[in-house]
Structure 1
Amino acid sequence: MRIGAHVDSADPLAEAAARGAEVVQFFLADPQSYKNPVPREDVERLRASEVDVFIHAPYRLNVASPNNRIRIPSRKLLMTHARAAAEVGAKGLIVHGGHVEGGDLAAGFANWRKAFEYAENDGGLPLPILIENTAGGDNACARRFDNLARLWDAVGEFGAGFCLDTCHAFAGGEDLVGIVDRVKAITGRIDLIHANDSKGGFDSGQDRHDNLGNGKIDPELVVAAIRASGAPAIVETPGGVKGQSADIALLRERSGA
């Protein structure tokens, strides 16, 4: 069971060492933009490191959108980031489930399928795409697990992976008790856990992470999800090295990792 943190992208391996992290996640470009990644000087170090690497796609990416000006650039950005993530030896590219602005969710699921078809026609994806559940929005493709099942009907055959965020699930209105079994009944897999506490209450729709034990989630439920999944865990919590190191230590101690 490997545990780590989301860190600054400037020197992720140094950030991992400072936290005693076995896994790191970072962005390859501004998460609030459609910018493409730029070549990194630490590619060989990242590929050779014993630290497992995951890359998070920009938040702006939304392949489910009915808006051509969002959906089409998002498809292209998905491929660009997937290739750049594979270049640094990443084990997966995490992508938020997205939402359908004022539209029919069925169209969003169809657009997700088209994104995978587009990728196949563009040479194929070089690493797993890990779709992440989200916390808010009535037209979200991966907030409610009944919608997640519809999404998986559309994309499961393409080998899509899944990233379970505990804050997003709780704030999105999904009970954390037994959550791994419920997710696996839909997706068949959990590839990564985002082990976050929540500042917002249950079903609040608020995507506001907190340090473990400081928010509204019982840390034992987060630990139980990690144990049941057997997946690596990433804390995306505040407090820099100090705050995240404490969260990693808590997870290691209580999970027996």
Structure 2
Amino acid sequence: MRIGAHVDSADPLAEASARAADAVQFFLSDPKGWKAPQPRDDADRLRAAEVDVYVHAPYVINVATPNNRIRIPSRKLLVAHAAAAAEIGARGLIVHGGHVNAGDDLTVGFDNWRKTFAYAAESGGFATPVLIENTAGGENACARRLDALARLWDVVGEYGAGFCLDTCHAHAGGEELLDLVDRVKAITGRIDLVHANNSRDGFGSGADRHDNLDSGTIDPELLLAVIRGAGAPVIVETPGGATGQAADITFLRGQTGIGDRLA
């Protein structure tokens, strides 16, 4: 099982080395901005590296919203990030599930997700697999609760959408981690990546505040059960920089069923 971390984008391979990580995840542009990603000088090194690469799309992207001023730029930016991620050999592009505004029909959000994949299909589809991530908060979210996720997958599953399971988001979003993998796979048929994070806040809080794996409000044994059950690559998005994340990676590698670092 490949285990890595979300790192600074300046030199991801150096960050991987500092954590003894098998994988890295990073942003290709300002996560709170709308600028398109630019070509990277280290693209050849990233493509050739033994370290697996994942890209996280900017937080501003919300393809579900009925607001044209956000939805249309979001679609274009997601396509641009998928193309840029392909240039560096990324295995997946992670994007949050998005939401509609208060008072809007959530059905519109699901249909906008369908149109997003249809829009990309017009130019040959996304250049990198898109992994939709469950989110922690919002009553109008498309991927917070599993009942909403099921409705989302009814419209995007046929396009080959992937799924990224965030343990902190699930806990804070009000989904029990016990048997979560089975319940998710019954909907999506797949888990392509796990964001392994503890939660600083309590169950159902709706707060997206990550903590290290042996801290926080989630029993570490529950986190380990999710990771073992998913059988997917793992990215920790935990605090503490290289030291804190390296400790989390070491913790995971020391557990039965998780596995040692690949040579």
TM-score normalised by structure 1 residue count: 0.99
- How many Å separate the matches in 2 of 1:200 and 1:104? 29
Q: Which residue of 2 aligns with 1:201?
A: 202
Q: Which residue of 1 aligns with 2:152?
A: 151
Q: What are the within-5 Å matches in structure 2 for residues 22-101 of structure 1? A: 22-101=22-101
- Which SS does the other structure have where 2:255 is aligned? helix
Give the Å deviation of 1:127. Answer: 1.7
Give the Å deviation of 1:228. Answer: 0.9
Give the paired residue count.
Answer: 257
Q: Which residue of 1 aligns with 2:217?
A: 216
Q: Which residue of 2 aligns with 1:184?
A: 185
Unaligned runs of 5+ in 1: none
- Which SS does the other structure have where 1:79 is aligned? helix
- How many Å separate the matches in 2 of 1:64 and 1:37? 22
- How many Å separate the matches in 2 of 1:41 and 1:142? 35
State the Cα deviation string for residues 13-43 of structure 1 (Å, max 9, x = none). 0000000000100000000011111110000
Identity %: 71
Q: Which has the higher mean CA deviation after the structures are superposed, 168-177 or 124-133?
A: 124-133
Give the Å deviation of 1:123. Answer: 2.7
- How many Å separate the matches in 2 of 1:124 and 1:154? 16
- How many Å separate the matches in 2 of 1:92 and 1:64? 20
Give the Å deviation of 1:223. Answer: 1.2
Look up the equivalent residue of 2:37 and give its one-letter code. P
- How many Å separate the matches in 2 of 1:126 and 1:36? 15
- How many Å separate the matches in 2 of 1:98 and 1:187? 17
- How many Å separate the matches in 2 of 1:148 and 1:35? 29
Q: Which residue of 1 aligns with 2:120?
A: 119
> Where does structure 1 differ by over 4 angstroms across 4 or more consecutive aligned residues?
none
- How many Å separate the matches in 2 of 1:230 and 1:52? 16
TM-score normalised by structure 2 residue count: 0.97
- Which SS does the other structure have where 1:254 is aligned? coil
Cα-Cα RMSD: 0.7
Give the Å deviation of 1:122. Answer: 2.4
Look up the equivalent residue of 1:31 and give its one-letter code. P
Q: Which residue of 2 aligns with 1:169?
A: 170
Q: Which residue of 2 aligns with 1:129?
A: 130
Q: Which has the higher mean CA deviation after the structures are superposed, 216-225 or 131-140?
A: 216-225
Unaligned runs of 5+ in 2: none
Give the Å deviation of 1:180. Answer: 0.6
Give the Å deviation of 1:231. Answer: 0.2
Q: Which residue of 2 aligns with 1:9?
A: 9
Q: Which residue of 2 aligns with 1:232?
A: 233
Give the Å deviation of 1:222. Answer: 1.2
- Which SS does the other structure have where 1:66 is aligned? coil
Look up the equivalent residue of 1:210 and give its one-letter code. D
Give the Å deviation of 1:213. Answer: 1.6
- Which SS does the other structure have where 1:59 is aligned? coil
